[in-house]
Amino acid sequence: MPRLRKATRKGGRTATRFVPLFPGYAFIQEPAGGLDWRTINATYGIGRLITGENGRPALLPAGFVESLLFQTDPDGVFSAPPAVAAGDDVEIVAGPFAGIVAKVVTLTETGRIRVLLDLLGRSVRTEVHQFDVDIVARAQPGL
């Protein structure tokens, strides 16, 4: 299953760990002959199936799983970048500037984000990787 790269801080150190993209969920493809869904609900580790109004398991849109797999690298790490745009405020979550909020200036073609930091009373431009930021506030259109 796809995983996410997550930067964490512990003891003043930044570490990268991998967490499930959909923790606690399993995706099941129904065999052509059908399947008794009650046996899945009775399986150890399965809390319950997500069902529709008819009581049958809910279906994912066609191509959903294939789209997820297309966006993962060979190690199963989900690689869709955060949807940041110029003007957004982001918190840097990894690297030497972790914990600092910055303003997005531009996005590069190489998967990096140019940001403007306020350090020691001065505005400083730098680049960070797209996975090393969390969106804090969206840019206001027309401002």
pLDDT digits (tens, 9 = 90+) for 91-136: 998 888 889 999 999 988 766 899 999 988 899 999 998 878 888 8
Backbone angles phi, psi at 11, to 5 degrees: 60, 30
Whether the predicted model's global pTM rises above the 0.75 cut: no
Same domain, 56 and 103: no
- Position 125 scores a pLDDT of 94
Q: Check residues 78 and 12 and name the one with the higher pLDDT.
A: 78
> 21: domain range?
3-70
User: For residue 77, is it within any domain?
Assistant: no
Does 143 fall in a domain? no
Indicate whether 45 and 98 sit together in one domain.
no
Does residue 118 lie within any of the structural domains?
A: yes
Is residue 66 domain-shared with residue 93, that is, in the same domain? no
Count of domains forming the chain: 2
Output the pLDDT for position 80. Answer: 65
Cα–Cα distance, 69 to 49 (Å, whole number): 22
Q: Within a domain: residue 103?
A: yes
